[in-house]
Amino acid sequence: MADDLDDLLDEVETKFCVKQKSETSALNLDRRKGKNEFVHVHVDQKQNQRKHQRVRSKLEEDVDDILGLDVDLEISEDGQEKACENKSSNIQSNTPSTIPAKKCFPIYVGGTLCDQGLGSSVNKRICDKLRCTSCDFKVAIFSDYEWNPKTDYLFLRNNAPDFQKLKSNLKRKKGICAYSCQCSWQSFQELTELKDPKLKWVCGKHS
């Protein structure tokens, strides 16, 4: 009788423990599965948020390029995008736009009675930005002077563009301008279009 009772208790204990362990294992498995699913969903949400931020940033850059704006995006801790205007864009917007340099065409030379500046076929002005393509010197203009016929290349080579050294070969002549670089020289009184092939002078651009 005692043996039968022990066998019955062993059978009950075995069934109960196995059932409890199986339920515990199933519960743990469900918990791990749920945790894995939660982690997977959380990772997917983060990836989608980052992808969304990259797409938004790219769209903002494209819009800025079209509108000519310089805008930075700040991502706050809560994931919200905040646009802030770049300080450098304010500085650039306040500065005047660069005006492209212009050249005289055709090039005019002349005396002191002629207007100086940017010249054209309509506005005939003598160019005061001449540069020599041969010696690469700026062409100096001396108002109310003309060159002495004895002036030569060696004299200019050693003294140009210093007026104090050049004035020994300059004569006072009202209304005339004496032009010179370091290799060529000429005097003009009337407005004249520059066509002499010996003078390698070009307009050095007007701002």
Mean pLDDT, rounded, for 70-82: 47
- pLDDT over threshold 70, residue 202: yes
Q: Is the pLDDT of residue 123 over 60?
A: yes
Q: Nearest Cα to 147, choosing from 122, 169, 125, 118?
A: 169
Of 114 and 43, the one with more pLDDT: 114
Nearest alpha carbon to residue 193 among 95, 120, 139, 128? 120
- Angstrom distance (rounded) from CA 8 to CA 5: 5
Nearby residues of 187 by Cβ (< 8 Å), 6 or more positions away: 145, 146, 147, 173, 176, 177, 178, 179
The residues, any chain, with a CB within 8 Å of residue 71's CB and separated by 6 or more, are 60, 64, 83, 84, 85, 86, 89
d(CA 129, CA 109): 11
Global pTM? 0.54
Indicate the residue type of 171: K
End-to-end CA distance of the chain: 122
Q: What are the angstrom distances between the C-alpha of 78 and each of 15, 75, 131, 135, 178?
A: 53, 8, 63, 67, 75
Which of these ranges, 48-62, 88-102, 175-189, has the smallest mean pLDDT? 88-102
CA atoms 111, 113, 118, 122: torsion sign: negative
Provide the b/e sequence for 41-73 (b: ≥16 CB within 10 Å).
Answer: eeeeeeeeeeeeeeeeeeebeeebeeeeeeeee
Q: How confident is the model at residue 37 (pLDDT cuts 50, 70, 90)?
A: low
Q: What is the pLDDT of residues 95-121, one digit of tens each?
A: 455 667 899 999 999 999 999 999 999
